[in-house]
Structure 1
Amino acid sequence: MPTVLFLRGWRFHFYSNEGTEPIHIHAQRGEAECKYWLNPEIYDIREAYAYNMSKRDTREVRKIILQNFDEIVEAWTNYFGE
């Protein structure tokens, strides 16, 4: 499971068997976990799921993803190909 970023206690990663899915990223910190779909064509993210996430956690994760959007997409593309 490749880790793309580790910021503010959040580990941003994807699973190595998910290459058939659209670009997305998982975030996990303690018992909190979420998954976001990324659309590089329109620079957009959409929540797939969130467990044990406060509103503050959600805002923080979304902000980190948006600030590192290009790096996440590049990591996905380098790992799985286009």
Structure 2
Amino acid sequence: MPTILRVGPYSFIFFSSDQGEPTHIHVKRDQQLAKFWLDPVSLAKNRGFKQQELNSITKLVEEHKQTLLEGWYDYFDT
């Protein structure tokens, strides 16, 4: 479970089993977890975050999209 980025209480991660799926990132805080597609940025799944916090997280994903994509491609060597 590589961590690509940490911003405040959020860890931006993916799982080695994610290979083969379109580029995405999981955002984790405590027991909450959300999955965002990266191209284009959109929410795929949410487990526990309230809408207002999801809006803030979406902005972080958009802001750091390039770093997240580079982390994905570096890890999966694609």
What's the TM-score bracket when you normalise by the shorter of the two chains? over 0.9
TM-score (norm. length: structure 2): 0.93
Q: Which runs of 5+ in 2 are unaligned?
A: none
What is the CA deviation profile of residues 6-44 of structure 1, one whole-angstrom value per residue up to 9, with x for unaligned ones?
1120111000121111100000101221001111xxxx2
Amino acid paired to 1:61? I
Secondary structure of 2:17 counterpart: coil
More helix by share: 2
Query: What TM-score, normalized to structure 1?
Result: 0.88
Consecutive aligned runs of 4 or more in structure 1 exceeding 3 Å deviation? none
Aligned partner of 1:81: which letter?
D
Which consecutive unaligned segments of at least 5 residues does structure 1 have?
none
Taking only the aligned residue pairs, the percentage that are identical comes to 28
Q: Which residue of 1 aligns with 2:13?
A: 13
Aligned residue pairs total 78
For the residue of structure 1 that corresponds to 2:60, the secondary structure is helix
Offset at residue 57 of structure 1 (A): 1.3
